Amino acid sequence: MNPFSNITTAISLALDSIRAHKLRSFLTLLGVIVGVASVILVGAAIDGLGVYAENITAKAFGSDSFLVAQIASVGRLSSRQLADKQRRNKRIRPDDVAYLRAATGDSIIYSPYAQHTDDVKGENQVYEGASILGASATLPEMRDIPIEDGRFFTENEERLRRPVAVIGQDIRDAIFHADSPIGRTIRVSGTEMTVIGLLERQGSSFGRSLDNPVYIPVTVYYDLYGGQRGTAVFGKARAGTGRNPALSMDAALDITRATLRSHFHTPLGQDDNFDTLTPDSVRSFVDSVLGVIAAVVVPITSISLVVGGIVIMNIMLVSVTERTREIGIRKSLGARQGDILLQFLIESVILSLAGGLIGLMCGALAAMALSALFGATLKVTAGYVVLSIFVSSAVGIISGWYPARRAARLDSVAALRAE
């Protein structure tokens, strides 16, 4: 008999059996549907978290800038590690930044980056706990600082210590409400500052608002809070020209490290006595964390697929018992063990594969709905789609093998006598 004909016959019989017991078939699918939908939803959340972290990293660093500081690391340091770094590493002070600019400023641009938490006052209103950020006018060249209204301060304003500020949406809402803040004044640490720019709304990151910064020239920041406690420094290779192509980020970082090592008199062969941080190191850390989460969470959510497989196996065993006489008739008409095995195995695979496809659609729709309702970043990727379909098919084969094998081994005479 034609093997293709055997397969089409098995598929036809399997579909007839599924249609004859619609409710039972649907209840059988539920375990697989829930399992696959859970895997898709969890996978979308994990990948979405990766995309979100990538966007946050791009905003914090830009695509090709780096950070130098006394302590700059991803992940939480132990108290001992923190104490060791504080003891060994040098603070980056204003004169150190000036040295970097004098030594390498022709090929690398730098911006100090200092932060202090303080209240912002204006028009009889107070915003408590704003992030006061001191930076250079070059900072927008290194990282994304989206301006909705107005502008960022200039190098001339930085050099002349002009009291100007670029504020976030939370500051505007609290002090000026819905009005434009451009040209109006705020007070920071007793100093009046003219608002020259308003940032676009950024939302929040892990429960922390990103809309409460006040950017001021770093020279003004030093006047308010001092600079000897140390600061971080962003660096980026200058744009190249025809004769002088731009440095790569790694080359610019190496030059900066060598310059600081010389400035700090770091002994040859010893580690840097300062920290550096690049976007790649942040991404690697995020990827490792997400990998651990996926390794733990995805198998847990897949347990429901195992439950679904057990349900399929039980239903198939019931189906074999109910159709014992049918099996005996088929065998008496010449059906071989392989034909009976194929019939029940295909029925099991069809059930699990249908459950997998429905679960895939449910998971994708749930991810889209959550993204739309809550603004969450959920991304359904091909990897989890292939994984869920493969696993659901494997569940069908594994769960259906024993019932199909049992059906195939039934004695035809005994089967015909069954009621």
| Stated length of the chain | 419
Phi–psi pair at 143, nearest 5 degrees: -140, 160
203 against 115, higher pLDDT: 115
Instruction: Kindly report, residue by residue over 253-265, the tens digit of the pLDDT.
Output: 999 999 999 999 8
> For helices 249-263 and 94-104, what crossing angle results, to 10°?
120
| Burial class of residue 71 (count of CB atoms within 10 Å of its CB; 0-12, 13-18, 19+) | middle
- Vertex 67: Cα angle to 64 and 73 (nearest 5): 115
- Kindly report the average pLDDT of the chain as a whole number: 82
What distance in Å separates the CA atoms of residue 39 and residue 384, rounded to the nearest whole number? Answer: 7
385 against 334, higher pLDDT: 385
Given pLDDT bands bounded at 50, 70 and 90, which one contains residue 75?
Answer: low
- Residue 73 predicted with pLDDT over 90: no
What distance in Å separates the CA atoms of residue 30 and residue 355, rounded to the nearest whole number? Answer: 7
- Residue 92: partners with Cβ closer than 8 Å, 6 or more residues away: 68, 69, 70, 112, 230, 231, 232, 233, 274
In this prediction, residue 138 carries a pLDDT of 92
- Residue 13 predicted with pLDDT over 80: no
Which letter does DSSP use for residue 197 in this model?
Answer: E
Instruction: Kindly report, residue by residue over 294-342, the tens digit of the pLDDT.
Output: 777 777 777 777 777 777 777 777 777 776 777 677 767 666 777 777 7
Which two tokens mark 148? 């909705």
Q: Which of 210-219, 284-293, 309-318, 381-390 has the highest mean pLDDT?
A: 210-219
What average pLDDT does the segment 88-101 reach? 91
Where do the structural domains in the chain lie, given as residue ranges? 3-56+289-417, 90-273
Which two tokens mark 176? 């000026």
Q: What SS3 state is found at 186?
A: strand
In this prediction, residue 371 carries a pLDDT of 78
- Residue 1 predicted with pLDDT over 60: no
In this prediction, residue 392 carries a pLDDT of 75
Do 131 and 153 form a contact (C-beta atoms < 8 A)?
no
Do 347 and 18 form a contact (C-beta atoms < 8 A)?
yes
Do 217 and 73 form a contact (C-beta atoms < 8 A)?
no
**Structural element, H or E, at residue 196:** strand 191-199
